[in-house]
Amino acid sequence: MKKILILCTGNSCRSQLAEGYLRHFAGNKAEVYSAGIETHGVNPRAIAVMKEDGIDISHHTSNNVDEYAHLNFDFVITVCDNANERCPYFPSTAKKFHHNFPDPAKATGTEEEVMNEFRRVRDLIKGYCKEWVGENI
């Protein structure tokens, strides 16, 4: 079984969305973890937009990348430029991937406009994860 780590700045939105979709698309073929360079807690809007798409991430926790230093990952996926630039060295042969997604937590406007940005980013991440699993797992 492959081990996948998704890294983001705060393990709050983008990496949480990706963890949910990678678990969904990979099924029992992979163990999926997400972490941040920092921990900001799981964003309630991320939980809400995933629930709209039938995926429950309400049990996810916000974890610091250092918590997983002992694991030997097959893949490390960074989902923001900040995490990519600050990605710690893993003493493994993990294959690294990077895709910079916009941070929906930085969206401004009405609640509806902010939620629409969360949905837009969710859909970008969903497409990426589905394609990534198809090509790598």
Domains and their CATH numbers in the chain: 2-136 (3.40.50.2300)
d(CA 115, CA 80): 20
Give pLDDT, residue 51. Answer: 98
Residue 78 pairs in a beta bridge with 7, 98
Helical spans, DSSP H, in 43-97: 44-52, 81-86
- What type of residue sits at position 55? I
Catalytic residues: 8, 80, 87
Closest CA to 77 of 59, 67, 90, 62: 90
User: Can you give the pLDDT at residue 10?
Assistant: 87
| Sheet order of strands, 30-36 included | 30-36, 2-8, 75-78, 95-98
Q: What is the pLDDT of residues 35-91, one digit of tens each?
A: 998 898 999 999 999 999 999 999 999 999 989 988 999 999 999 877 666 665 555
At 69 the pLDDT is 86
| 101 touches 6 (CB < 8 A) | no
Checking if the pLDDT of 127 tops 60, the result is: yes
Partner residues linked to 7 by β-bridges: 35, 78
Give phi and psi for 73, each to the nearest 5.
-85, 145
